[in-house]
Amino acid sequence: MARPIWTGTLSFGLLNVPVSLMSGERSVDLHFRMLDNRSNTPVRYERVNAETGEEVPWKEIVKAFEYEKGSYVVLEPDDIKSASSEGREAVEVKTFVDAGSIGPEYFEKPYILVPGKKAEKGYVLLRETLKRTGKIGIARVVIRTREYLSAVMPRDNGLLLMLLRYPQELVDASDYKIPEGDVSDYRITSKEMEMAEQLIDSMSDEWTPGDYRDEFRERLRAVIEKRMKSKGVVTPPTEDEGEAPENASTNVVDFMALLQKSLETKHRTPASKAPGKKTAEKKVPRKAAAKKSASKKKPAVKKAKKTTRRKSA
């Protein structure tokens, strides 16, 4: 079972409902790794000092704001915490608005509020009242270190906490060249309008989310599986293997299966080679030094101006 982001309270007026804040979405993206094409070894990224070229350990990294080119003010963790509201693990509803009054462009990210032990009554009370009145609650919430504007709304048997964008984060459509006016300004005839309405009516249906799939992901998954079957999977050499022979292939699907098949073929036809698909041969680099990053050279970086360090209060 997923762990809560935090456990706190949902409050409106004098009512406090113990809740847990849970993620309302999951990642189903296909994630790729980058490999060194010469050895099929994963590539990793390092935190490198732009001036010295040396790797910087996490414990030496601080957050800073660049207030002008090359000049920074360093912020301590307590500085960032002090900017958040006092109720760090709470959803405090400040006001209620009509559900239809918030445009879809304001909705950003969903979370689910789950009632705590013996908190079902208050949870259901708010959920059903919001359904009957057609209202949603506007609240502020702190998630990890940042404060967000949010909306508390009923969805089926649950309460969603939807993060909202601030108006300054949105681009107004009037900033672009968009046609103004009505149909008469563009000589759209009543017949054209009627036909367009008929077309929309013929294409109308109930919204059923399950009818829609990420078809790109499915096609890409099929491509990956096809590649695995035809080319095999690539396996980087281990350090204790040493140098591989010239004709060694790094595209191997299953060592045991191939060995077993080879043995069976050998027993059946000792004098002939078993037919099969050719596997693209890749030479494994002879030098282990190929794994090292080529970025060891010192980058020519202009010296930054003096950094101002702000002490925490």
| Residue 225, pLDDT score | 86
| Residue 257, pLDDT score | 59
Measured distance CA(230)–CA(140) in Å, rounded: 53
The helix/strand/coil state of 310 is coil
Residue 19 and residue 113 in contact, taking contact as beta carbons nearer than 8 Å: yes
- Look up residue 17 and give its two tokens: 């409902």
Q: Is the pLDDT of residue 96 over 80?
A: yes
Residue 22 and residue 114 in contact, taking contact as beta carbons nearer than 8 Å: yes
Q: Is the pLDDT of residue 9 over 60?
A: yes
Could you read off the pLDDT of 76-94 as tens digits, one per residue?
A: 888 877 877 666 788 999 9
The position carrying tokens 């709304």 is 153
pTM (2 d.p.): 0.64
Q: Taking phi first (over 0 means left), then psi (-120 to 50 degrees means alpha), and beta for anything else, what does residue 156 get?
A: left
Distance of CA 10 to the CA centre of its chain: 27
| Residue 151, pLDDT score | 97
The domain locations on the chain are 1-170, 217-238+249-266
pLDDT: which is higher, 278 or 56: 56
| Residue 280, pLDDT score | 44
| Residue 132, pLDDT score | 97
The percent of residues in the chain predicted with pLDDT above 70, rounded, is 72
| Residue 298, pLDDT score | 44
Amino acid at 215: E
Give me the mean pLDDT over the 101-130 stretch. 95
The position carrying tokens 């949870």 is 123
Measured distance CA(13)–CA(51) in Å, rounded: 55
Q: Is the pLDDT of residue 193 over 80?
A: yes
Nearest CA to 290 out of 17, 12, 37, 22 is that of: 37
Fold of the domain built from segment(s) 1-170: Ku70; Chain: A; Domain 2 (2.40.290)
- Look up residue 157 and give its two tokens: 């048997």
The helix/strand/coil state of 110 is strand
| Residue 274, pLDDT score | 44
pLDDT: which is higher, 9 or 28: 9
* Terminal-to-terminal C-alpha distance of the chain: 40
Could you read off the pLDDT of 132-182 as tens digits, one per residue?
A: 999 999 999 988 878 899 999 999 999 999 999 999 999 999 899 999 989
Measured distance CA(97)–CA(113) in Å, rounded: 19
Could you read off the pLDDT of 264-297 as tens digits, one per residue?
A: 554 555 444 444 444 444 444 444 444 444 444 4
